[in-house]
């Protein structure tokens, strides 16, 4: 079992230690006080309503002063030393989650203004958290042990449940930006979790499509479940399969590298997974990231985005947890930049074919790990006749 210990930093922000299963006791329970002299936390920024699109835009000018690519000896998420009193007041840790010192949303909580129009503003309510994957300053998620990856999965699950229960929160989004080409501001391996006071534009589009499909099927099927079934039956874009998860390059991939990782059972979010499914997810996710990094001689920049059901009575029953792992890397020395068609019109043009990308991901040599490697899914060998999981009471809670 992952041991979780909660404490607070000098300015009142919450920090949680997540210890690996089997970690020596006690460690995080012997809390080290944050002795820094930090300024009081500021008020939230603001959100502004874009009447042209019906979307909310967060304005967070205070983030201009946030830490940007500091040297290793000044890293704010390494363990604390006498020379570097960091955000984590402990000499060692496994996984840590804490409230961002420079949040885009929060720290106050509440709803966005009702019936907005042109000129409507409001406080940028919500919560932004940082998830540190390891005390080591260098490396990547793909280099974590399976035990440590499982601890991160547990942290995502715990925070999803806790943040979803906060007043005014409508969507919880765990994600990782990896690589300078993506725009990271810290080299130390870490991710983030945003808890929004509104359903984000991308989630709203996907949620509406999912709800229409769900209603047309009289609540017996989900859109993501039907896509998973179609991809598994076709087989040409499959990357790997396990007992409870499948990964594939989607039929209409937008990015040069795009993989979706989907559980075989419909669950709304990471908190809905069983312990056994979380164990399996840690193994499958590591395998997938290793395949991505094995494509080229240098690490591949990516965005790892966990799409979870909004905290919304209309959209949630039709929603289906899944990961969208994307990268702008279209060749060893080339990146895709969003120019006119994509950035201005949202009309993507992909420079690669999903089938070729899937074949490359299946065929790469994955670095050996202590656990037995997953067999890549090959066309013609995919399980046929996969049916939609039974809809059971509580499955959409």
Query: Which residues face 278 on adjacent strands?
Result: none
Q: Active-site residues: which are they?
A: 190
Return the exposure string of 134-148: e unless at least 16 CB atoms fall within 10 Å of the residue's CB, then b: bbebeebbbbbebeb
Residue 294 is classified by DSSP as: T
Whose CA is closest to 141, among 302, 16, 254? 302
Cα dihedral 68, 72, 78, 80 in deg (nearest 10): -110
Contact between 118 and 51 (Cβ < 8 Å): yes
**Ramachandran sector of residue 119 (left: φ over 0; alpha: ψ -120 to 50; beta: rest):** left
The rounded distance, in Å, linking the Cα atoms of 290 and 137 is 19
How many Cα atoms are found within 13 Å in the side-chain-facing hemisphere of 114? 1
Cα separation values, 189 from 186, 259, 280, 390, Å = 8, 21, 22, 38
Query: Which residues face 63 on adjacent strands?
Result: none
Please check if 75 is assigned to a binding site. Answer: yes
Omega before residue 199 within 30° of 0, cis: no
Q: Which residues contact 24 (CB under 8 A, 6 or more apart)?
A: none
- Please report the sign of the dihedral spanned by the C-alpha atoms of residue 278, residue 175, residue 308, residue 168: positive
By the 10 Å C-beta count (0-12 exposed, 13-18 middle, 19+ buried), 72 is classed as exposed
Please check if 188 is assigned to a binding site. Answer: yes
Please check if 128 is assigned to a binding site. Answer: no
**Which residue ranges make up the annotated binding site for Zn(2+)?**
75, 78, 137, 188
**Which residue ranges make up the annotated binding site?**
75, 78, 137, 188
């Amino acid at each position: 079992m992952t041991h979780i210990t909660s404490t607070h930093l000098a300015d009142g922000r919450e920090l949680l230690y997540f210890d690996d299963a089997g970690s020596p006791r006690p460690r995080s329970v012997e809390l080290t006080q944050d002795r820094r002299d930090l300024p009081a936390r500021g008020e939230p920024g603001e959100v502004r309503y874009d009447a042209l699109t019906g979307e909310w835009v967060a304005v967070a000018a205070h983030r201009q002063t946030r830490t940007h690519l500091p040297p290793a000896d000044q890293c704010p998420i390494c363990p604390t030393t006498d020379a570097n009193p960091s955000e984590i007041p402990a000499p060692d840790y496994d996984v840590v989650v804490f409230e961002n010192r420079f949040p885009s949303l929060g720290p106050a909580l509440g709803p966005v203004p009702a019936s907005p129009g042109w000129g409507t503003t409001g406080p940028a309510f919500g919560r932004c958290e940082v998830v540190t994957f390891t005390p080591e300053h260098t490396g990547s998620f793909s280099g974590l042990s399976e035990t440590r990856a499982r601890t991160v999965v547990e942290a995502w699950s715990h925070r999803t449940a806790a943040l979803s229960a906060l007043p005014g929160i409508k969507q919880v989004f765990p994600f990782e930006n990896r690589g300078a080409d993506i725009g990271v501001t810290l080299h130390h391996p870490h991710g983030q979790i945003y808890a929004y006071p509104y359903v984000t534009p991308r989630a709203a589009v996907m949620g509406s499509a999912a709800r229409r499909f769900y209603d047309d099927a009289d609540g017996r099927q989900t859109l993501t479940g039907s896509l998973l079934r179609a991809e598994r039956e076709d087989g040409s874009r499959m990357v790997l399969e396990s007992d409870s998860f499948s990964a594939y390059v989607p039929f209409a991939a937008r990015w040069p590298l795009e993989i979706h990782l989907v559980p075989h059972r419909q669950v709304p979010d990471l908190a809905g997974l069983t312990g056994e499914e979380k164990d399996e997810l840690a193994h499958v996710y590591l395998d997938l990231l290793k395949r991505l990094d094995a494509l080229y001689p240098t690490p591949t920049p990516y965005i790892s985005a966990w799409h979870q059901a909004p905290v919304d009575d209309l959209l949630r029953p039709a929603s289906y947890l899944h990961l969208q792992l994307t990268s702008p890397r279209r060749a060893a020395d080339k990146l895709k930049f969003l120019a006119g068609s994509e950035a201005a019109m949202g009309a993507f043009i992909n420079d690669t074919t999903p089938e070729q990308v899937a074949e490359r991901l299946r065929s790469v040599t994955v670095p050996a790990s202590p656990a037995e490697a997953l067999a890549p899914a090959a066309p013609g060998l995919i399980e046929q006749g996969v049916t939609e999981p039974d809809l059971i009471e509580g499955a959409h809670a």
